[in-house]
Amino acid sequence: MSAAASAAQGIQAKVLATQGRPRAGHLLLIVVAGAAAALGAWAEWIQIRDGLRVSGLNRPVGWAIYITDFVFWVGIAHSGTLISAVLFLLRARFRTAIYRVAEAMTVFGVMTAGLFPVVHLGRPWFAYWLFPLPNQRHLWVNFRSPLMWDVFAVSTYFIVSAIFLVVGIVPDAAALRDASRGWRRRFYGVFAAGWRGTDEEWRHYARAYLYFAAFATPLVFSVHSVVSWDFAVSILPGWHSTIFPPYFVAGAIFSGIAMVVTLLVPLRKVLHLEELITSWHLDMTSRMILLTSLIVTYSYLIEAVMAFRAGPGTELSILAYRATGPFAPLFWTMVGCNCVFPLFLMGSRVRTSPAALLCICILVNVGMWLERFIIIVTSLSHDRIPFDWWGIYRPTIVEAGITLGSFGWFFFWFLIFVKLLPAVSISEMKEEVAHEVGHAA
Amino acid sequence: MQPDRGVLGVFAEVTDAARAVRALREGGHVEIRFAAPAPFPELVEALGRPRSRLDSVTLSGAALGVAGGFALCVGTALAWPLMTGGKPIVSIPPFVIIAFELSVLVGACVNLGALAVGAGRARRRRAVPFDPRFSTDRIGVFVVGGDLPEAERTLRDGGAEEVRHVA
Domains and CATH numbers, chain A: 25-131+147-431 (1.20.1630.10)
Between these two residues, A126 and A83, which has the higher pLDDT value?
Answer: A126
Across the strands, what pairs with B34? Answer: B141
Distance CA A138, CA A351 (A): 57
Torsion angle in degrees (nearest 10) through CA of A130, A77, B102, A242: 80
Residue A171 phi, psi (nearest 5): -65, -35
ipTM: 0.92
Residues A6-24 have a mean pLDDT of: 87
Give pLDDT, residue A135. 83
pLDDT top residue among A377 and B4: A377
pLDDT tens sequence across B50-102: 888 888 999 999 999 999 999 999 999 998 888 877 888 999 999 999 999 99
Q: Answer whether A430 sits within 8 Å of B37, measured CB to CB.
A: yes
Taking the C-alpha atoms of residue A216 and residue A222, their distance in angstroms, rounded to an integer, is 10
- Residue A59: what pLDDT? 84
The answer on pLDDT for A2 being more than 80 is no
The whole-angstrom separation of Cα A366 and Cα A358 is 12
- Proportion of chain B in helix, strand, coil states, percent, rounded to 5: 55, 15, 30
- Measured CA to CA, the distance from residue B18 to residue B45 in angstroms comes to 8
Give B-chain residues touching A195 at CB under 8 angstroms: 119, 135
Confidence of residue A388 (pLDDT cuts 50, 70, 90): low
| B88-102 confidence digits (pLDDT tens) | 899 999 999 999 999
Query: For the whole model, what pTM was predicted?
Result: 0.93
Q: Which residue on chain A is closest to B52 by alpha carbon?
A: A204
Query: Does residue B1 carry a pLDDT above 60?
Result: no
| Chosen from A14, A191, A196, A230 to mutate, greatest number of chain B CBs within 10 A | A196
Are A254 and A292 a contacting pair, CB within 8 Å? yes
Structure confidence at residue B3 (pLDDT): 60
Q: How far is CA A210 from the centre of its chain?
A: 22
Q: Specify the 3-state DSSP secondary structure of A382.
A: strand
Q: What are the distances in angstroms from CA B96 to CA A78, A423, B73?
A: 22, 37, 9
In 3D, which of A220, A217, A195 has the Cα closest to residue A205?
A195
Upper half-sphere CA count for residue B44 (Cβ side, 13 Å): 20
Count of alpha carbons within 13 angstroms of residue B131, beta-carbon side: 23
Q: Calculate the average pLDDT of chain A.
A: 92
Residues of chain A positioned with their CB less than 8 A from the CB of B137:
4-6, 8-9, 12, 430
pLDDT tens for A47-97 read 999 999 999 998 889 999 999 999 999 999 987 888 888 888 888 888 888
Q: Which of A418, A434, A433 is nearest to A100 (CA)?
A: A418
Segment B124-160, tens digit of pLDDT: 888 899 999 999 889 999 999 888 899 999 999 999 9
Least confident of A78-82, A111-115, B118-122, B161-165: A78-82
Residue A48 CA, distance from chain mean position:
27
Rounded-to-integer distance, Cα A203 and Cα B46, Å: 12
The DSSP line for A329-340 is HHHHHHHIIIII
CA A302 – CA A265 distance, rounded (Å)? 33
**Distance to chain A for B127, nearest Cα, Å:** 7
> What pLDDT score was predicted for residue A255?
95
DSSP code string of A167-211:
HHHHHHHHHHHHT--HHHHHHHHHHHTT---BHHHHHHHHHHHHH
Q: Hey, is A348 helix, strand or coil?
A: helix
**Per-residue pLDDT for B2 more than 60?**
no
Please check whether residue B165 touches A, CB under 8 A: no
Name the residue of chain B whose CA is nearest to A428's CA: B38
Q: Which domains does chain B have, with CATH numbers?
A: 6-50+127-166 (3.30.70), 54-121 (no CATH)
pLDDT of residue B52: 84
pLDDT at A327 over 80: yes
Tell me the C-alpha distance between A243 and A278, whole Å: 36
Collapsing DSSP to helix, strand or coil, B163 comes out as strand
> In 3D, which of A90, A134, A200 has the Cα closest to residue B121?
A200
